[in-house]
Each structure stands twice: as structure tokens, then as C-alpha cells.
Structure 1
Amino acid sequence: MMIRSALAGLALALTFLMTAAPVSAQTVRVGIVIPQSGQFKLLGDHVRQAFEVWNAGNPGVFSDVVEGDDGCTEQSGKDAAAAMAEAGVDIVVGFLCTETLAAALPLLTAEGIPVMTLTVRADIIAEEAARLGWKFFRLAPRAGSEADIAADAIFRLWADQPFALIEDGAISGRELVEAIRIQLENRGLKPTFVDNYRPGQATQPSLMRRLKSAGVSRVFVGGERADLAVIAYEADYQSVPLKFMGGDALNAPEGENPIPEGTIAVLAAAATSGPEDQAARDAFAGHGLIAEGLRIPAYAAAEIIGAAATRMTYGETSLQDLLGQTTFSTALGPVTFEPDGERREPGFVLAILEDGSFRRLSIEDTAALAGDSN
């Protein structure tokens, strides 16, 4: 930093003071590995924009932001890891696909470079990281947390109601519903009805007959938003009074049929606005951007790395150690990483559909819904 002053003596004094003062922060060279083309390019753009917006409001913390290409293949993961190591980055954010993340982690760990993923939720990644000592941090919510939140919501809100767990036959839907069922039964609560359905249908008459015959009034749908909309439409057509809950798959554009008002969903925290993300949303708005997609999670990653950088002193605590020892205030709320790199906080919230959009479930909403059941 060059200090210009008409008074040479003052400039010399200031320079002396700056040199003598202890260093309280150091700049960090950040790598972001994002899709540069293809169907996920838009998400890659979100990550880049988030770092640009944060950097504009906090100049001088990042010495550089280096980009790499995430082609969502094992080889592209290896290539990106090699490029990041050659660029001498201190940390890498991105690797939006499981294949690239798994391929890159051992290579970057060998170079002493930690990796933070914004999207990969597979539990196996953290298990392998813990077993093999990979330098891994997951800002994305862990897949198992979705079932934890859903099971707890069903237990609190539907315990005295006949309810069904249904899924679309896909691996994600089946695993989600099975995890919920096991957790509920471990707490002494069994679903009245468990079934699967064929997804992508225009109508669901046979499924609705089975639900009606089972006598349920509440249904958890482990499947896509479009399928829940068809099931709800069929329920209305056959005059079957049902209330619905679903997982993060409900965070999707509205299709031909709307899903019912009052539908409850377990959503990733970034999908709904909360007080913790207002500053980030304002920052994006100031650049003509809407806080959507991966912009909020990527902004939170920039906040975490920036906060860690301001705590670093030369030759003392490393970035890796600071990430594992600090609770960060971010646009996603508090973030604390466990020793295996998992985020301690669940990363999911309960939301309710109101006027066509999901908003977070309040304490008053929860009390009212529990009162409906009781």
C-alpha cells in the first residue's frame, strides 16, 4: 500500500507504524471450480457472481479468484485439481458434481489445499473424507439431514393422524422415505400406509384409491413437485381430503398444476428468505441480481473464507484449522464444521406454501399446525 502525503515526515511515521503493527490478516487466493458450459453453466455463473459481489464489498481480502472448469466427469475433476494446485490457491470452492469432487479431493489434499462443496450432499463423501483424511468441508446440507427434519416434523405435527409415506421409485425418493420410516418407527410411530407410485403420470387414480382405502389424511411425498401436484389434483377430483408434505424436490418451478396451499416442505435453507440472508440479498440487488440458485450458498462461502482470512496471522493458525474451529455468521445462518468437514447445522428448514410461494414455517405456524392435528 502506497501512502501519498504532502508531508514526508507524516508519511514516514505512518509507514513505520504500519510496519511495526502486528499483522492481523492475510489475503487468500481462492479457486472456484465451476461448470463453464453445458446444462449446469448457469449454476457456475451464480458462484462466480457471488464471489464478485462479496469481493466488491470487501476489497483486499482475496488476492485473487482463479477459475477452473467442472465438467462433471472424473477426468475433469483431476484436471481441475491439477490446475488449482499449479495456480497456488489456498482453498477451492465448487466441484458441483459428485464425480469431480471425489476425483479432486485426494489430489488437492496431497497439495494441502482444502475443498468446500456447495452442492454435493452424498453422505459417502464425508465418510470417505474422514477415513482417508481428505481436506473436505461441506457447506451443502447433508442428505441425511433432510430425512431428520422431515421425520421430526411428521412426529410433531402428524403423530395423532393417519398418514402415508409414498415415493416415486427413484433412488433419492426411495432412500428419503425409507430413512423417514426408520426414524419414525424408532420413535414408536408407524405410518398407516407405505407405497410407491409411477412418476410422470397425468393422473393417479389407482394411487388415490389406495390412499382412500387406507383412510389416511396426511401424505408425505418422496418425489417431484409435478407429481405431488398431480396427486393433489387427483385427491381433489375424487374428494379425498388430504394434506401434503414433501422434501427439497418441491423447490422447483410450478408446472401445469399447482400444489396445494398449505403444503409443507423440507427445503435447503437457501431456498427461502430469512433474516440472516438480507444483507446478501441487498448486495446482489445492488448489482442488479436476484438472490437465487447458488448465489446465496456461494456468497456464504465467500463470507466464511473472508472471515477466516481476517483471523489469520502469518505463521500461526492455518486456514484449514480456522475453518474447523470457528462458528461463522453467514447468509445461510450460523455455520460450524465438524472434524470430518460436515456442517454441524442441518442446513434445511421447514417451509409452507402460501400464495404460491414457500416461506419458512414460524413458531406460530407450527403451533397452529400441531393444534390442527391435536
Structure 2
Amino acid sequence: MTICRSWPCLAVLTMLLAASASQARADALRVGLVIPQSGQFAILGNHVREAFALWDKTNPQVFADIVEGDDGCTKETGVDAAAAMAEAGVDIVVGFLCTESLASALPLLSDEGIPVMTLTVRADIIGEEAKRLGWRFFRLAPQASEEAGVAADTILRLWADKPFALIEDGAISGRELVEAVRAILEERGLKPAFVDNYRPGQATQPSLLRRLKAAGVSRVFVGGERADLAVIAAEAELQGVPLGFMGGDALHAPQGELPLPERTIAVLSDGAIPGPAAAPARDAFANEGLVLEGLRAPAYAAAEILGAVATRYSYGETGIEDLLRQSTFSTALGKVSFSADGERVGPGFGVAILEDGEFRRMSLEDMELLLEQSQ
């Protein structure tokens, strides 16, 4: 046996051992993707698959394997997918795009020591249950409650000196969003001039506009769908009522028969309005003839996060969950870190403005211009 004693020899041996350890750590990580394989959400499953395949293509040999399972968005399919992932021996699962399947899979996978990262489920109750029951849960998606906080902050910045209305469509999501925004604003000493609801799905909204006109408001926050806001805006133009509009993440939807008015403001998930940090991902998708849209940005960010974890993973030292909680990751969504409870730190929503029919992330210059125009 040759014994290495000289400094040059030791240096070479150290580099070889480091390279060997690095390769072992990288090859250790097996990733499971539980995504819809058919039905109305299959396109989102395709986005996740494409993002991981693209990242894996440009970063070979970082993941040992990527194993797919089917998310049928039901309690039963969640249980089946969890069992399949455990049998496959994956180290972490990304996906479970629906609340029902995620909630049924989490306890089973947690018992197997397999953490789950969701890209889409926003319900606060899932995080609360995960904390209470000790589930191995990480949320890259924004929490639902954060949307109201960002909306209220934006109203405070842009509309604090304007008479504004909060209106909602009567649905649970719209009503809860508006009530949460109202509570935050009133806690900070700002009250809306008018609060109301409207019947969604109408071709016209004349009575609503008469009420808004009588209230003397100039700005309206709409807790409802994109199509309804477009109808309300068209009615305002017809009646000659000058109004500025803002809405929530529901505005991130295909354009219907009526367009939204230019300069409409929206609080959207950061995956819907990628910022400068998404440039490498955008270029990578463009090289494949794809657009960075839908779940492609969040899924690519998840691949970036797990790729960083794979290169840092060390047997018997720091586990995957600790690495996720202790690190800050540079991703297509910007800097991402997780709390001790697995929640993403910082709001996963941003403020966007409609320009030429498309929402783009609002800049400081946009805000300054809006403030100048409103004076």
C-alpha cells in the first residue's frame, strides 16, 4: 500500500476525496414529482415536468433520479401517490398541486421521513396543520393571507388620499380577500369610502356603477374575477365615471370578451410576473421554444433550490429539511428562504400593472407616475 505523506500528494488526495464526496452527495438526491397527468390541470403538470427536465438537462448528474407520480387532485389519489413515492424511495416530493391530495399525502409521507414542497397550495390551514402535527411541509407558493397584506400596502401607498371603494363578488375567495384588506386598512387608520358587493357574471353593471358614482369614489378595489372587473370598467366608461381599478390574483386569467382598462393594478403571485432574477430561466425556456409562464417559473425555482440542496447534502450531517430551512436560495423567483415551519419567508406576491394588454411587474417609476397623475 502506498502511503501519501508529501504536501503535493496530500493536496491531490484531498481534492480527490472532496470531488468523490461531492459526487456522492449530488447523486444521493432522488426527487419525486407528483403532478396531474390528465384532466384540466394536466397543462400545469406539463409545466412542472418541463421545468425540471430543462434544469436537469443543463445541470446533469445533480439529481440521481426524477420519479413522477399522478396527482388526481382527490384524497384517494393523494394517498396512492404518497405510497408510490415512498415505494420509489424518493428523498423529497415536489407537487401535489391541489389541497385535497396534498392534505391526504402529507401525513403518510411525513411518517416515511419524506418532505413535500408545494408550488400551488396557498390555504393557510395546511401550514397551520403541518405545524401542529409535525408534517414535513415546505411551501414555495405564497400563503393566501399574504395577498391581502400586499393589496392593503399598495392601497396605502397609492390611494391613501383618494376616496376608494372595496367591492367583492360574493364568492368566498372574493369576500375573504376584501374583508382582510378592509381589516388591515382600518387597523392602520384608513377607511374606504364605500364597501359593497355585486352579482358576478353579468353582461352589464349599471346599478353598481350608480352606487359607486353616488359614493363619489375615484378608485375601486375589486375582489373578483377578471371578466367581472372588465364589465365594471366598461360600464364606468359608458356612464362617464372616471375610475381607477385594482384587483387580486384572480386577474391573472385569460382575457375575455372585454379587455381590462390599461393601467389596471393587480396583486399577483410572483410566478405570474417574474422579475429580473428570472432572466436565465426565461432564456433557457426560450432556447427550447417555450415561454416562461404558468407554473414554469415556480417549478424551475424549485429545481434550482433542490439542485443547491443536492450539492450541499452530506450523509450523517445536515439533512434535506435543515438545509432548506437554513439556506437562502437564488432562484427564478428571486431570493427564497424558508421559516422553521417550512413557510416561504416574505410575501410571494408582487404588484403588477397592465400595459398593452399584459401585466408586468410594477416599478418604482410606475408608482411615482401614478402618484403624480393622481395629484
TM-score for both structures, normalised by structure 2? 0.94
| Contact 1:26–1:313 under 8 Å retained in 2 | no
Are residue 117 (structure 1) and residue 118 (structure 2) matched? yes
SS in 1 for 2:271: helix
Query: What pairs up with 1:171-186 in 2 under 5 angstroms?
Result: 171-186=172-187
Distance 1:262 1:274 in 2: 18
Q: Where does residue 370 of structure 1 map in the other structure?
A: 371
Q: Where does residue 154 of structure 1 map in the other structure?
A: 155
Q: Where does residue 7 of structure 1 map in the other structure?
A: none
Q: Map Cα deviations across residues 207-235 of structure 1 (whole Å, 9 max, x no partner).
A: 00110111100000000110000000000
| Contact 1:218–1:243 under 8 Å retained in 2 | yes
| Contact 2:246–2:265 under 8 Å retained in 1 | yes
Q: Where does residue 35 of structure 1 map in the other structure?
A: 36
Letter of the 1:89 partner, please give it: V
Structure 1 gap ranges (5+): 1-12
Letter of the 2:324 partner, please give it: L
The alpha carbon displacement at 1:20 in A equals: 6.8
Distance 2:188 2:289 in 1: 48
Q: Map Cα deviations across residues 57-98 of structure 1 (whole Å, 9 max, x no partner).
A: 000011100011101110100110010001000000000000
Distance 1:186 1:156 in 2: 15
| Identity of matched residues, % | 72
SS in 2 for 1:209: helix
Distance 1:337 1:65 in 2: 23
The alpha carbon displacement at 1:288 in A equals: 1.8
Are residue 26 (structure 1) and residue 26 (structure 2) matched? yes
Distance 1:120 1:20 in 2: 39
Size of the aligned set, in residue pairs, is: 362
The alpha carbon displacement at 1:363 in A equals: 0.8
Distance 2:212 2:303 in 1: 47
The alpha carbon displacement at 1:366 in A equals: 1.2
| Contact 1:31–1:92 under 8 Å retained in 2 | yes
Distance 1:143 1:16 in 2: 49
Q: Where does residue 91 of structure 2 map in the other structure?
A: 90
| Contact 1:220–1:244 under 8 Å retained in 2 | yes
Q: Where does residue 320 of structure 1 map in the other structure?
A: 321
Distance 1:282 1:333 in 2: 16
Query: What pairs up with 1:246-285 in 2 under 5 angstroms?
Result: 246-285=247-286
Letter of the 1:126 partner, please give it: G
Distance 1:123 1:217 in 2: 33
SS in 1 for 2:258: coil
Q: Where does residue 203 of structure 2 map in the other structure?
A: 202
Q: Where does residue 337 of structure 2 map in the other structure?
A: 336
TM-score for both structures, normalised by structure 1? 0.94
Q: Where does residue 215 of structure 1 map in the other structure?
A: 216
| Contact 2:35–2:48 under 8 Å retained in 1 | yes
The alpha carbon displacement at 1:357 in A equals: 0.9
SS in 1 for 2:221: strand
Q: Where does residue 243 of structure 2 map in the other structure?
A: 242
Distance 2:44 2:180 in 1: 29
Distance 1:300 1:53 in 2: 12
Query: What pairs up with 1:128-167 in 2 under 5 angstroms?
Result: 128-167=129-168
| Contact 1:165–1:219 under 8 Å retained in 2 | yes
Over 4 Å off, 4+ runs: 13-17, 19-22
Are residue 345 (structure 1) and residue 346 (structure 2) matched? yes
Q: Map Cα deviations across residues 177-198 of structure 1 (whole Å, 9 max, x no partner).
A: 0000000000000000001101
The alpha carbon displacement at 1:21 in A equals: 5.3
Query: What pairs up with 1:63-102 in 2 under 5 angstroms?
Result: 63-102=64-103
The alpha carbon displacement at 1:273 in A equals: 3.4
SS in 1 for 2:294: coil
| Contact 2:166–2:195 under 8 Å retained in 1 | yes
The alpha carbon displacement at 1:373 in A equals: 3.7
Distance 1:128 1:144 in 2: 16
The alpha carbon displacement at 1:22 in A equals: 6.3
Q: Map Cα deviations across residues 309-360 of structure 1 (whole Å, 9 max, x no partner).
A: 1111222111111001111110011111011111112011101111111111
SS in 2 for 1:305: helix
Letter of the 2:50 partner, please give it: Q
Are residue 170 (structure 1) and residue 168 (structure 2) matched? no
Letter of the 1:111 partner, please give it: E
Q: Where does residue 3 of structure 1 map in the other structure?
A: none
